[in-house]
Amino acid sequence: MRFRNALTLIHKRFPFSYAFGPADTRTACVDSSQHVYSRLMMESRDEPCLKFETLALIALDGKGVIDQSKAKEILKLFRPDRDGNLTMLDFVKSVDSIYKEYRLLQATIDNSSQIDRAFENILNVVFYVIVFAIILWQLGL
């Protein structure tokens, strides 16, 4: 049941979150990521690029301490330059790479579901043929 509920979330218009924006198409995902970048830049309008420290705040735990493993994952995902800056293009490319993996997962699940349905239909036919043969044998035909 949980897996099926998770699969329903994949086909939503807002797969990342409502705050991120629509991401049902690649174009919508790019537009939403640009809007997120613009909102993150509101605090530092004088800066030409987003500081990685802004994104690193995601890695804070409940006690206000930075979780090092989360920070490393964020660093690996967004890849700021040596000065810790992240351009809009780099930010959008990083989000786009996540979107591509997300769509690949969705396509893989859809393909597996089709294969499972086809296999189930084949097994149903074999089962009904066997049941029909047993019924004919019991009737003496």
Task: Please give the full DSSP string across 65-115, using - where no structure is assigned.
Answer: -B-HHHHHHHHHHH---TTSEE-HHHHHHHHHHHHHHHHHHHHHHHHHHHH
Is-contact 41 33, C-beta < 8 A? no
Average pLDDT over every residue of 85-102: 90
- Which carries the bigger pLDDT value, residue 57 or residue 36? 36
Domain count, the chain: 1
Examine residue 91 and state whether it is found in any structural domain, yes or no.
yes
Examine residue 25 and state whether it is found in any structural domain, yes or no.
yes
Average pLDDT over every residue of 94-106: 90
Average pLDDT over every residue of 60-85: 83
Domain range for 108? 2-49+87-115
- Token pair, residue 135, equals 């019924």
- Token pair, residue 137, equals 């044998």
Res. 107 pLDDT band, cuts 50 70 90: confident
Give the largest Cα separation in the chain, rounded: 91
Average pLDDT over every residue of 77-88: 85
Q: Does position 68 have pLDDT exceeding 90, yes or no? A: no
